[in-house]
Amino acid sequence: MHWRVFKIGGRIVNKKSIWEAYRFSIILIGAIIIGSFIGVHFGEKAKVLKPLGDLFINGMFTIVVPLVFVTISSSISSMSDMTRLKSILKNLILVFVSTGAVAAVIILIIVNIFPPAQGVNLSLTTAEALQPFQTGDQIVKAITVTDFPELISRKNMLPLILFSIVFGLCVNMVGEKGKVISNGLDALAEVFLKMINLLMYYAPIGLGAYFAALVGEYGKELLGSYTRAMIIYYPLCLVYFVVMFPIYGYISAGKDGVRAMKNLISPAITSIATQSSIATLPVNLDAAKKIGVPKDIREIVLPIGATAHMDGTVFSSILKISFLFGIFNVPFEGIGTYASALLLSILGGVVMSGVPGGGLIGEMLIVTMYGFPAEAFPIIATIGYLVDPPATMINATGDTVAAMLVTRIVEGKDWIKRNLG
């Protein structure tokens, strides 16, 4: 079989590679569509398939706690050069968090004007505690537990994440003696990721069956809410690309920075074709070189940004949160709610995105932090698959923009003229 080959920004891409990049998403979305049709056709009779869906959901919840601990701890403990960590904190965190916060504020405004689940009224079990971070006591309860066994629960994800970060740092600080533990954590991380991979073979059956039962019970309203969420998300990403990126370009290098935005076209196309920020990295490096970003800056910012700078993920995180509030018929309003959504979105887009399985962990974190029932997980996981192409485009191209902003901080406002002149 011959696959048509074409070239994007110096990177060879063919139809086979595109199919391989999107294959699982296509199969998964196809299974969900088939399940939805079954639900529409058979109505409440389709609820008989729900146990098949519950098997998948329960499996994911069972794996997530050890997965969070070992992946985060191993990622931090295995850093051989702590100067790199200091570099991340000193040179990148300001830009990453700042652009993530801007993205979060934008999507918060959008979902309040156009609620993604407006008009949907499903009789789902309401979450018990939907507004964390409103008082000092709630903040303490959100980030700590009273006893170690309580960490080993998906209901306390944020304390587990913080514990894992501190544990990984301490293993690293021990030095040579900690290498054994670090290697063990790496091995465990690979084991649990392999378990996730095995479980994902069952995902099309599990999610297909779950949506057959869900649509059979709640009808077409749920499907309509997904369409509304996509109508909100896709244009938002396009507007962010053509409006906010040139603004960041202007901040980084004035009119020269705006003109440099033409170099983002190749990374944008590549990211959509490959559905991967990592696969787009070579094209991003080439684009940053053409823009005039210094070699040392682009070779630090872009590889790190490919795994830890995700404005598109920030968009999708708040979309998911507001979507769940809508279908569970809970008002998405209040300073506490917005603050927690802002924190979770930045955590998901800047911190968790750099951890293997971070997308899964981020979705679990949303469900558990707000106290949503288990059936909320596959609902927002589906949104993640539906919005992934434009999210990846914003994530990947945003890395080059971040490199420009970092260069502005390091080298001053005339860096493009100096480096290209």
What pTM, to 2 d.p., does this model score?
0.68
- DSSP H stretches of helix in 153-264: 157-174, 179-200, 203-218, 221-239, 245-259
Cα separations (Å) of 268 from 256, 263, 387?
20, 9, 15
- Pairwise CA distance, residues 307 & 128, whole Å: 34
N residues, the chain: 421
Two tokens, residue 191 = 């084991």
Does an H or E element contain 54, and which? helix 50-77
Predicted pLDDT at 129: 46
CB neighbour list of residue 138: distance below 8 Å, 6 or more residues apart: 132
Does an H or E element contain 6, and which? strand 5-8
Q: What letter represents residue 280's amino acid?
A: T
Q: Give residue-wise pLDDT tens across range 316-346.
A: 888 888 888 888 888 888 887 888 888 777 7
Q: What share of the chain is helix, strand, coil (3-state, %, to 5)?
A: 80, 0, 15
- Pairwise CA distance, residues 343 & 404, whole Å: 25
Topology of 5-420 in CATH? Proton glutamate symport protein (1.10.3860)
Q: Give residue-wise pLDDT tens across range 88-118.
A: 457 677 888 888 889 888 989 998 898 887 7
Residues of the chain with pLDDT under 70: 1-22, 79-89, 91, 119-139, 142, 154, 218-223, 273-276, 278-279, 307, 348-361, 421
b/e per residue 242-264 (b: at least 16 CB within 10 A): eebbbebbeebbeebbbebbebb
Domain boundaries, the chain: 5-420
- Pairwise CA distance, residues 273 & 287, whole Å: 17
Cβ–Cβ < 8 Å for 406, 294? no
